[in-house]
Amino acid sequence: MRIKGLGSNKLERITGNNRVAAERPVASGRAAKAGSSRGRDDVALSEGARIAGQAGEAVQSSPELRMELIQPIKEALASGTYNVSSLDVADKMLRQVLMERKQSL
Predicted structure pTM score: 0.31
Query: What three-state secondary structure class fits 101?
Result: helix
In this prediction, residues 13-33 reach a mean pLDDT of 52
C-alpha dihedral over 55, 56, 60, 64, to 10 degrees?
Answer: 60
- pLDDT tens digits, 64-97: 878 899 999 999 999 999 999 999 999 999 999 9
pLDDT of residue 9: 59
pLDDT of residue 79: 96
